[in-house]
Amino acid sequence: MKKVVLLALLLTVGLGFGQGKKTLKWISDIKKEWIPNKNGVPEYVKTYENLNLSKEILFTNSVNHLNFGTDFSITILEKNNNHDFIKIKLKTLAHVNTDYKLYAVYWGKIDFKENKMRIALTLSKWENKFFGEIERYDVAKRFPISNNDYLKNLHGKGFYKAHKKISAILLTMSTNIIKHYQEPKKTNNW
């Protein structure tokens, strides 16, 4: 009985943490969807022009969306008083494997000009929660950026899922900031 339990445990760990062909295919499928910075770390940059919205309105919509309209962990680190930019930190769950939770942490900046907006997010680190302990890893030293990673399958799956999530988050963020602006209604009921 002990041998069966040991074999099942080893098989589960091997499948969960071993290098998988499926993971390699996923990574190759998204290779051209992100831009590497000088360290090879993914950057996601979206620029929107001809918006017909002032930078003050874009700024206000962004603050409102970041404070109230998100279903992920986001922190506003800095807001510029001239409505030029907002610096943010975004954290999202990338992958779960048994008791191993892998979070992707992004640092970002939203820049505003008249009728223009640019959202830039950089995957900065991995945080994993393993049996309650939190460890932080440099993205540049993990797969798929670096091949010197003993958890290639786990980090590869996490990278793929984080990429898909951040792409959806960028789309939702831009849509909520740009398209959901409404002129304040003027009422004379007072």
pLDDT of residue 68: 78
Exposure pattern of 48-76 as b/e (b: 16+ CB <10 Å)?
eeebebebebbbebbbebbeeeeeeebee
Residue 92: how many CA atoms within 13 Å on its side-chain side?
A: 23
CB of 140 closer than 8 Å to CB of 41 = yes
pLDDT at 41: 86
- Contact yes or no for 128/158 (Cβ under 8 A): no
- Give the C-alpha separation, 69 to 173, whole Å: 9
Contact 84, 111 (CB under 8 A): yes
Q: How far is CA 183 from CA 21, 53, 157, 170, 180, in A?
A: 52, 11, 43, 24, 10
Helix (H, G, I), strand (E, B) or coil at 51: coil
**What's the confidence (pLDDT) of residue 89?**
92
C-alpha to C-alpha distances, 124 to 17, 65, 117, nearest whole angstrom: 22, 22, 22
Going from N- to C-terminal start, the domains of the chain cover 18-178
- Per DSSP, the residues of 5-24 read HHHHHHHHHHHHHS--HHHH
Rounded distance between C-alpha atoms, residue 41 and residue 10, angstroms? 33
* Euclidean distance between CA atoms 137 and 186, whole angstroms: 52
Given this model, what pLDDT does residue 187 score? 61
- The DSSP 8-state label assigned to residue 92 in this structure reads E
Q: Which two tokens stand for residue 136?
A: 């932080």
pLDDT reported for residue 111: 95
- The residues of the chain scoring below 70 in pLDDT are 1-19, 69-71, 146, 148-149, 180-190
Domain 18-178 CATH class label = alpha beta
